[in-house]
Amino acid sequence: MMVRINGTEREYKPGMSVLQLLEETGYSISRVAVEKNGAIVPKGRLAETLLEDEDILEVVSFVGGG
């Protein structure tokens, strides 16, 4: 099963949540915004939002600085 994250295809395990995929790929959960198939996924719902074959995820990481 495949999803696309920021334009790159990646395999995932059936039943995997968006949160699990982000953790597996090394994202800092506290500093990201996630869009799944064009809709924002609230941080509080990342763990319960399951991936489906051919989902498209856009992940934006926030970086502090001045």
Q: What is the pLDDT of residues 32-56, one digit of tens each?
A: 999 999 999 999 999 999 999 999 9
What percent of the chain shows pLDDT beyond 90? 88
pLDDT of amino acid 66 = 60
pLDDT, average across residues 62-66: 72
pLDDT of amino acid 65 = 67
Question: Taken in order 19, 24, 30, 34, is the CA torsion positive or negative?
Answer: negative
Q: What CATH architecture applies to the domain 2-61? A: Roll (3.10)
pTM for the full model? 0.90
- Strands in 1-66 per DSSP E: 2-5, 8-11, 32-36, 39-41, 56-61
